[in-house]
Amino acid sequence: MARRWTNDLSIADATPYAAYINRRQIMAGAAGLIGATALGLGRANAQELVPNSWEEITSYNNYYEFGTGKEDPANNAGSLTTSPWTIEVDGLVDNPGIYDLAELIDGLEVEERIYRFRCVEAWSMVIPWNGIELADILTRVGVQEGANHVAFETVMRPDEMPGLRYPVLDWPYREGLRLDEAMHPLTIMATGIYGRPIPNQNGAPIRLVVPWKYGFKSIKSISRITLTRDEPFASWNRANPREYGFYSNVNPEVDHPRWSQATERRVGAGLFAGRQPTLMFNGYEAEVASLYEGMDLAAYY
Ligand code: MTE
């Protein structure tokens, strides 16, 4: 697998699953404060370089179609049927249609991308994704003249998604990007984590990952992609435009109205690790700042 855009993070830094489990067992045996401190400091010193464990990535989730608790998706998302899976592609495209997922991505390169992942709630992880550049998929379906945005929809299956009973959002979950953001090589459609198929709670069988934006832009279990002229409907932005912008670029200088975005808590970092500073564009400033040249990022948050 070719690998690009990993920056300072490499798969060599990933904690292998077996080693992680092993460490947990050692920790369980190491009684008291000394053990906990060692773990906390160990993770703190290496926090930039160490991807989160499989267990952390797959048991602490946001997927409100399966409940609003962090463990609800892991407990409830098993009910989602992910095969067969179709994606409707429509709007300003040369080849609209309802595609079988396998057919849509057949032959496209799957890469490993180890990305920082920063939730708007001010927690973060480092996740080793496997995915396809969204640009490759869009090129395959043929973007037409006049398309400026890409809209995404999550599948809506009340029988399989217990959270849809609650009007937390105007379902289905929807998100959107500007076309240049969607075509950026950092933007991927993830189909795996740690080289395994992506679990349901993380958005199986395919979800968006836009590493320089807050996590809610990275919509899960995508069943529709629409090329549009105008800025599309985006669920969180529509639910509360003052708190959640359409752009939602990670920015330590623009606070959420109810909390600071200057720092973040790295999930699994340990009790004594402390918070770490949030990076402009989540650490991808060199790659993406040019997309927003001349824009007031406090106004277009
Ligand atoms: N996609 C759908 N369909 N429903 C959701 O509730 N939550 C978003 C995003 N994508 C969400 C979603 C939020 S708030 C975050 S932080 C990430 O998914 C979490 O991704 P993870 O659970 O894989 O870490």
Average pLDDT of the chain to the nearest whole number: 89
pLDDT tens, residue by residue, 177-226: 999 999 999 999 999 999 999 999 999 999 999 999 999 999 999 999 99
Tally of structural domains, the chain = 1
Q: How far is CA 60 from CA 75, 160, 243, 256, in A?
A: 11, 20, 23, 22
Q: Give the residue numbers spanning the domain of 223.
A: 17-292
Q: Does 10 map to a domain?
A: no
Ligand 1: nearest atom to the Cα of 119: 16
Q: Whose CA is nearest to atom 13 of ligand 1?
A: 216
Sheet strands (E) in the chain? 86-91, 97-100, 111-118, 123-133, 149-154, 174-178, 188-193, 196-197, 207-209, 222-228, 263-266, 276-277
Q: Does 5 map to a domain?
A: no
For position 270, what pLDDT does the model report?
86
Q: How much distance in Å is there from the Cα of 172 to the middle of ligand 1?
A: 13
Ligand 1: nearest atom to the Cα of 208: 10
What's the whole-number mean pLDDT along residues 95-116? 98
Banded pLDDT at 40 (limits 50, 70, 90)? very low
| Residues within 6 Å of ligand 1 by CB | 61-65, 119, 154, 173, 202-203, 215-216, 218-220
Q: Whose CA is nearest to atom 22 of ligand 1?
A: 61
Q: Does 298 map to a domain?
A: no
Q: How far is CA 112 from CA 22, 61, 193, 265, 281, in A?
A: 24, 21, 9, 24, 20
Q: Whose CA is nearest to atom 5 of ligand 1?
A: 63
Q: Whose CA is nearest to atom 8 of ligand 1?
A: 216
DSSP state of 251: -
Q: Does 269 map to a domain?
A: yes
For position 8, what pLDDT does the model report?
54
Q: Is the pLDDT of residue 265 over 70?
A: yes
Q: Does 6 map to a domain?
A: no
Sign of CA dihedral 63, 65, 66, 70: positive
CATH number assigned to the domain comprising residue 246: 3.90.420.10
For position 22, what pLDDT does the model report?
43
* Top mutation candidate among 206, 207, 220 for ligand 1, by most atoms within 8 Å of CB: 220
Q: How many CB atoms lie within 10 A of CB 77?
A: 27
Side by side, the strands of the sheet bearing 222-228 are 97-100, 86-91, 222-228, 149-154, 174-178
Q: Does 141 map to a domain?
A: yes
* Top mutation candidate among 58, 59, 152, 218 for ligand 1, by most atoms within 8 Å of CB: 218
Q: Whose CA is nearest to atom 11 of ligand 1?
A: 63
Q: How much distance in Å is there from the Cα of 253 to the middle of ligand 1?
A: 23
pLDDT tens, residue by residue, 128-147: 999 999 999 999 999 999 99
For position 294, what pLDDT does the model report?
97
Q: Does 232 map to a domain?
A: yes
Q: Please tell me the pTM assigned to this model.
A: 0.87
